[in-house]
Each structure stands twice: as C-alpha cells, then as structure tokens.
Structure 1
Amino acid sequence: MKRYGYICLWFLFFFGYSSAMGAADQWGTGSLMIIVERENSSVVVVDSLKHEILGRISDLGVLHHASISFSQDARYAYIISRDGWLSKLDLLTLERVAKVKVGDSSIGLTVTQDNRYIAVSNYKPAVVKIIDAETFEDVAAIPVEREVNGETVPSRVVGMVDAPGNLLVFSLMDADGIWVVDAGSSDFPVIKKYWDIGKMPYDALLTPDGRYYIAGLYHSRHLAMLDLWELDKTKEIDLNNPNKKTAKMAVRKVPHLGGWSMAGGLFFAPVVAEARLPVYRSGSFELIKSISLAGMPMFAMASPDGRHVWVNFSGQNHRLVQVIDVATLEVVKTFDIGDRVFNMEFSPKGAYVYISSYKDNKVVVIAANKLQIIKKFDVNTPSGIFSTIRAHISGL
C-alpha cells in the first residue's frame, strides 16, 4: 500500500509538472491585439500584457481596408478581405479554421448580437451576406438597391454595425440611405429604410450606449444621425465651421476602423480636408468647439477612460499623432510615430495604445497615462489594429 502511494504521488508530480509546462505555452484571448499586415496577406497576433508577438496567420486574401470582428467569447476572429474572402481564425491555435467566398469586393462585417451570424457588407455584388458563425454556411443575401425613376439602382454597402435588439444597421453609399435589419428573424427582414440622408455615405459608427447610429457623408456638410430608440427619422449634425464654409468631403476615411468617438459627454468628429476637430455636446449634438490640429485628421479615438482623444492624420503630417485632453479640449502631446501612421487601438482598459507605422514596418506601443513610448516592434506593412475587447462592444 505504501509503495502504491509513492507511485500515485509520482504520477501526480509528473503529469502536474507536464501540464504546467504546457500551460506556459498557452494564453487567454481577452488581451490580444490582431494587427493586419496589409501587403503580406496575413495578421500578427500580439499579447498586449507582455507586448509580444505570439504568431502569424497567413493566406487571408487582399487585406486593403480589411476589417475584423470577434465572437463574443473572443475565441474567434472573423476577417473580411477586400477580394471577398471571409476567414475564421482560432485565436488559441493561431490557425484559420474556416473560409468562404462572400463577394467580389467586400468592405466590412459585424457579428450579430446573438453571436449566431456574421453580416458582411459588399461593394460588389450589392448585397449583405449573412453567414452562420459556427458552420460558415451561407444563410441569406439581402439585396441592397433603390428604385429611381422606375429603375433599380444597386448600392455599395458601408457602415455595417450590430445594434441592441439584435439589429443590423448599415448605409447605402450609392443610394443616400440607411437600412435597419431584424437579425432575430430567420428571413432577416429590412424593417426600416431611410432615404436622402445626405450625399454619399462612406462609413458610420454606433455610439457606445448603442443608441445613435451616425453616418459620415462624402459630399454633404453634415453627418446623418439615427436614434435607434425612436427609429422615426434621421437628423443632421452640422459640420460647418462657424468662421467659414466647410469644404465638400474628400475621400480620406478608411472604413470601420473607428474614425470618431465619444468621451466625457462629448462627440468628436474629424472634418475631412480641414485641420480641426469639431466637438459636440452628446445628446443635443450642439457644436461647442473646433480644436485646431497639426493637419487633416483621419481618426479621433477616445481612451476607454474618456480622459484623452488621440488623433492621427492624412496628408503631409501623416507621421504625427496628437493627444487631446478632454477636460480642457486642448492638445497636450504630439508624437512623431513614423512614416504613414495608419491606425491606433487601445489595449483592454486603455493602459496602452498600439499605433501602426505602415511604411516604416513597425508598431509603436505607448503607455497611455504617462504619454511615453515604451516599445517598438517589427511588423510587415501594418495597417488596421483590432483588440479582442471589441468582442464586447456593440457596433464593432
């Protein structure tokens, strides 16, 4: 009996030690950053607690303007390529586990709030594709079009978000509209259609509380806002500079990477082709200030605590990132990150900011509260950065 006890202890020690050794090579998914390697047809997976690259997943298609959404348990990342390939990535094994063709030219995606389906927005064909998140089977295709003078006009789809009530909301780029789909019904009916919201929507966001859907417009001097609590009509948010007329919107935005933000009860909306950041009071959307910037803003991203808004630029000052204090609405820090800053993303709880320098093939990590660069690491042509925290945020 005594000898049997020693054998049991030996087994416990050996297998317990082996299990611990195996666990050292594993990770959770709650603090991962997925970085798109734009010209490499791949993504890099980074542990944002250690700021270390865990691995790379390749052969994902054309990744210009690639978007990523996550399953609610953050186990899987879904990435849509520009050439219409939807891939399912296992973030525990760093392998692609499913792949399906959903279009010829795709631009965005989201996971429905019941976690059952992936909705993909296409430029071509003009449809929203619904894919079963588990089986990757094709479930539905919603034609996106408008009748104009007796003629059916197909439209590119932009600004796709998931919204409370298991809704899908998106904009019609070529038809000046916003549609709302009931993703809880098996036939995915379009329950609301709004027309003439402004000229040529290009992207949209959902406010953090899930109430307001706000679309940007290429050729109008306002944003279009839909109150999802009311679902009655869209309203305009004026972009005009009180000191001069705002120019027509230019093609500057990258879809679905988080161009605008809410913080401190305020709404920050970059104006294309002008070196300023308009600030609106949330709810009333009254313009209260325009913050002068170093260049034409591309993205204005709020830290999770709402203390700062981080802005990067297109045009001549694309190396820079400026930090705005939300309490004072003043620029408090300017970073020179590197050639062609493409995107920024916060780690969970906002301790760090990851910033991609596309032409310098690097990602820069900044301690958000100290406003200090703490690390740089090599990534091949990095563009979009997506934190797994998005798995729990409506609209992403």
Structure 2
Amino acid sequence: MDKAKLAAAALLLAGGAWAEPAADYAEHCASCHGEERLGGTGPALIPETLGRVRGIEDVIAHGRPATQMLGFSDVLDEAQIAGLVEFIKTPLEAVPEWTEADIAASREMAPDYAPAQAPVFDADPLNITLVVETGDHHVSVLDGDTFDVLDRFPTPYAVHGGPKFSPDGRYVFIMSRDGWVQKYDIWSLKEIGRVRAGLNSRNIAMSEDGQWLAVANYLPQTLTILSTETLEPVKVMPVVARDGTPSRVSAVYQAPQRKSFILALKDAPEIWEVTTDPEGGPFHDGFVHSYEKGMEESVGAQKGLFARRRIVVEEPLDDFFFDPDYRHLIGTNREGTKGVVVNLIVGREIAELPLPGMPHLGSGISWERNGHRVMATPHLNEGVLSVIDTEDWSIVKTIQTHGPGFFLRSHETSPHVWADVFFGPHKDEVHIIDKQTLEIVATLNPAPGKTVAHTEFTRDGRYALVSIWEDDGAVVVYDAQTLQEVRRLPMRKPSGKYNVWNKITFSDGTSH
C-alpha cells in the first residue's frame, strides 16, 4: 500500500486530529497489531489492554528483547514516537464486536503437538509449579522438589489472572490481557494451541468437570465459554443487566460444589451464576433457592447447561472471596469502603463488613482458628490485614502491617500466613503471621529496595516461594518452617506462581 492510501486509511481509523500518528501507525504498526489496534501477531494497542504499562516510548524506540518487536528509533523521531504513544492510548470510537465466528477463526492449534503417554520428566507432576514471568512474557515450569526449570515457554502478551489447571493437573490454560487463551500440556511440556476469546479480558475459570473454560471480557462485554478439549467456542453470552445496560465482566469464578460459574459484573448491580451441569446444578428441582420467578434462563443447547441466574445486589460488587463450601461470597463495592456478604443459596445480601481502604478480597485466604473458620484479606490502600469470622461475619482483628499489601498465602501444614507489603517504602518485606495468635512473628527482606510479593507453597508445604517482582528479579525459595533461604532462581519479573496440587485441590491458604 502506498503512502497516500496509508494516510487515507489512517484518517478513517482515527479522525483528522490524529492524521499523522495514525499514518505512522498504519505504516509501521498495523501489520502486527491490527489496522484497528485490536491485535494480530502483536498485542492489542488500546487503553484497556495497555493498562498502566510504562515505558511505551522506549519499547517503540528500541524494541522489546526476546520478542518480535523491533525498535523504530531509526525511522521515527521523538515527536513521532510521542504522538504514537498518545494515539494508542486513545479509546476506540466504538465498542468493537468479537463474535463466535471471530473466536473460531482465531484458533491456532500446534501442528506438531503429540500428547505424551506419560510425563517426559521424572518430577512429581502434581508438584509442578508454574512461574509467570511478565518481564518477557514467558512461563517457567519448576520441579517442586528440586526447583530445576523443566521448560520455559512463551505466552501471549501480558498474562492476566491466574492460570487454571484441568482437574487431573495435566493441562493448564493461560489467558492474556488481550483475550488470548493458551493451552499447554504439562506432561509433554508442549503448547497445544491458543484462541482469542475476547479483545480485552480479565480472567478465566475452569468448570468443575474440566469440560468448559469461561473467559470474562471487558471488550466486548461478554462471557465466552470454550471447550477445554478443542479450544472451540461453545457459547458467547452478551452480558446485559435487567434494565438493558451492557456490563463488563470484572471476573469469573468456579464454584465447584455448585457446578457453576459465578460472574462479577462491573457496571450493573447484579451477580450472575451460570450452571455447567446439564441437570441444572444449583437450579435443579428441589434445590433451595429464592430468586425472582423467571430469572433462571436456559441459553444452552442442552436443558440446564449454561442456564443463567441473576442475583440482584444494591450496587456493583467485584473482587470476590468464597468460603470453602461456596455457600457465601464476599465482594467489595466500587469505592472499596466495605465488604458485602451474599448467600448464594438464597440469592441475596445477608451482611455488610466495615472494610475501608480497598480490601483485596480476591487474594483472601481462610483457615481454622480456635474452632472457627476465619478468612483474612489485605487492603490496597491501608497497611492492615482484616481477619473475619466466617460464621457470624464479625471482624476478629485488624492486623497492622508496614504498608498496604497485595497477596496472602498459607498452607494446611503451615502455622503461618505470608503477607507481602507491596505498596510503599516497605515493598521489600514479607510479614510472617501466626495463624492462631494473629501476631507478626517475623519479617523477611529477601531483596532490600526491591518489590517482593506473592508467596506460593510446594505440594507438601515444606517450601515457600516468594517473587522479587523486578525485571531482573528472582524466585526465592524458603524453608517454610525455619524461614531460611534455600535457593534463589533468577527470573524476569516473576509475578504469580501456581502449584498444580494446591490449585486443583483448592488448598487452604490458596486464593481460589
């Protein structure tokens, strides 16, 4: 295409005010990132997928190591690069569509994949830990006993939300911020394929039986359900409130005992439950429920499969924590000033909790304390942990920490909760908290001055793995009893770490 046609296409795409940056985009970027900035071989370049990514100017000028992104400093000057940055940060004029046909057409299966009949390694396949390295968009596969790296494979751009394992622990599904879902065979150490389930996606959830994978989307405003076997789309559900308001899906969760998915709606005062049981799951005859007549809707080909239930709440809630039997969830309001307890059986709010300072309920964990089940949550804007009794929903204690935190972790075998201090001057610390006394008994500082976050335990709870959340970071392995460092593995900005056994068994101490 000549320069005149490129410029004309750019004007159509972005409007006259953006003519020059749009022309630069059309010439240098569109072939990889799509004419409408919705992605291609490269990621989508829209505000919803870029989020708070920093250093975009440097990436455009100098490229990104270990990717196909080349630098353009030899053909674009500083002003042109600055214009491109502002252009790709500009919202699209219209909400794009991404239909079931679009999803199906994006599906790419690895032509050389052949499933192994047994693991190709000697390690315990249920003690494998995956480390998401956001620094260069890879995942490392760790032997949970020796901590040797068995494989390191590329992922789609900007993995977002935790990977989900099949019930037997063999397969893992990984989702990127721009909607790509990747399927990987842990036994074979091979990628099986990938499909683009949305344009801007939040997270994924696996059905209790392992047949279906749900993808929560911001763009378009849908829930996509994929076959886990083939990655083919089986249902795309528009998410529209009772009053006709379209809504983004903040997150989707698996409720295994209920055989359903639970959806948090960003823009509507509703919670959705979608059954994955052909017999109806929580909607079948005889199950206790009290929601408005007509709110159950069958939208699947089979009776009961993917039937939908709406639970009406006072205001939009998200960032859900579930008690172990999935009878209740706690969500937070948009302002992050309180927690709201919803009983999923009767389908209504039953309690409120004073939780100011933006509680991060999705990272909450629970354990038994003095004969009571309690849960704890960090707060993103305050240096506290709130401990809550899940029987009467009272605040047991507010633990003062050295700053706001992001993640909590523990294990059935551990007497401790590990809590990072992700934000603020103490971001290099991890608090060790006694589960019974609720006192901080130790504070670790594995990398002074660097951000430390996200603990994960091995299958038996013997070791705790902590991330140094930097581009030149590491995973630090601690003896969970003595709190002594055992090994340090260099990694590229390791964020989440996910042990197969802990995730498929819904281990105590692991967020679900």
TM-score (norm 1): 0.84
Partner in structure 1 of residue 347 of structure 2: 232
Higher strand share: 1
Return the alpha-carbon distance in structure 1 between the equivalents of residues 314 and 404 of structure 2.
25
Does 1:34 find its partner at 2:130?
yes
Return the alpha-carbon distance in structure 2 between the equivalents of residues 361 and 293 of structure 1.
24
Return the alpha-carbon distance in structure 2 between the equivalents of residues 347 and 26 of structure 1.
17
Does 1:205 find its partner at 2:321?
yes
Partner in structure 2 of residue 393 of structure 1: 506
Choose which of 350, 368, 376 in structure 1 pairs with 2:480.
368
Does 1:161 find its partner at 2:269?
no
Partner in structure 1 of residue 68 of structure 2: none
- Cα shift at 1:354: 1.1
Return the alpha-carbon distance in structure 1 between the equivalents of residues 256 and 120 of structure 2.
38
SS in 1 for 2:460: helix
**Residues 218 and 322 of structure 1, relative CA distance in 2, 3 Å threshold:** farther
Instruction: Flag structure 2 segments of 5+ consecutive residues without an equivalent.
Output: 1-117, 279-299
Q: Deviations over 1:52-99 (max 9, x none)?
A: 1111111x2122434200001111011011111111101012111021
Which segment drifts farther, 338-347 or 120-129?
338-347
Return the alpha-carbon distance in structure 2 between the equivalents of residues 29 and 231 of structure 1.
40
Partner in structure 1 of residue 339 of structure 2: 223
State the aligned residue count.
359
Q: Deviations over 1:301-342 (max 9, x none)?
A: 232236211111232222111011011110001011332224
- Over the matched positions of the two proteins, sequence identity in percent amounts to 25
Report if aligned partners of 1:344, 1:355 keep a CA contact under 8 Å in 2.
Answer: yes
Matching residue's letter, 1:392 = T
Report if aligned partners of 1:364, 1:375 keep a CA contact under 8 Å in 2.
Answer: yes
**Residues 356 and 376 of structure 1, relative CA distance in 2, 3 Å threshold:** same
Q: Which 4+ stretches in 1 moved above 4 angstroms?
A: 22-25
- Cα shift at 1:290: 0.7
Report if aligned partners of 1:319, 1:337 keep a CA contact under 8 Å in 2.
Answer: yes
Matching residue's letter, 1:314 = F
Cα RMSD (Å) of the superposition? 2.3
Does 1:266 find its partner at 2:362?
no
Matching residue's letter, 1:113 = E
Return the alpha-carbon distance in structure 1 between the equivalents of residues 432 and 262 of structure 2.
31
**Residues 43 and 346 of structure 1, relative CA distance in 2, 3 Å threshold:** same
Return the alpha-carbon distance in structure 2 between the equivalents of residues 238 and 231 of structure 1.
19
Partner in structure 2 of residue 13 of structure 1: none
Choose which of 243, 265, 273 in structure 2 pairs with 1:172.
265
Report if aligned partners of 1:155, 1:173 keep a CA contact under 8 Å in 2.
Answer: yes
- Cα shift at 1:39: 2.7
Return the alpha-carbon distance in structure 2 between the equivalents of residues 274 and 136 of structure 1.
41
The higher-RCO structure (CA 8 Å, 6+ apart) is 1
Matching residue's letter, 1:120 = V
Matching residue's letter, 2:340 = A
* Matched ranges for 1:244-393 at <5 A: 246-247=356-357, 249=358, 259-264=363-368, 265-305=373-413, 307-316=415-424, 317-338=426-447, 339-359=450-470, 360-389=472-501, 390-393=503-506
Return the alpha-carbon distance in structure 2 between the equivalents of residues 377 and 332 of structure 1.
26
Instruction: Flag structure 1 segments of 5+ consecutive residues without an equivalent.
Output: 1-21, 241-245
- Cα shift at 1:236: 3.3
Choose which of 305, 310, 327 in structure 2 pairs with 1:193.
310
Q: Deviations over 1:14-45 (max 9, x none)?
A: xxxxxxxx989433420011011113121000
Q: Deviations over 1:209-252 (max 9, x none)?
A: 33322223331422222333x23312334124xxxxx35x38xx
Partner in structure 2 of residue 182 of structure 1: 275
SS in 2 for 1:314: coil
Q: Deviations over 1:94-117 (max 9, x none)?
A: 111021110011111111001111
Report if aligned partners of 2:252, 2:264 keep a CA contact under 8 Å in 1.
Answer: yes
- Cα shift at 1:378: 0.7
Report if aligned partners of 1:69, 1:110 keep a CA contact under 8 Å in 2.
Answer: yes
Matching residue's letter, 2:152 = R
SS in 1 for 2:504: helix
Which segment drifts farther, 355-364 or 210-219?
210-219
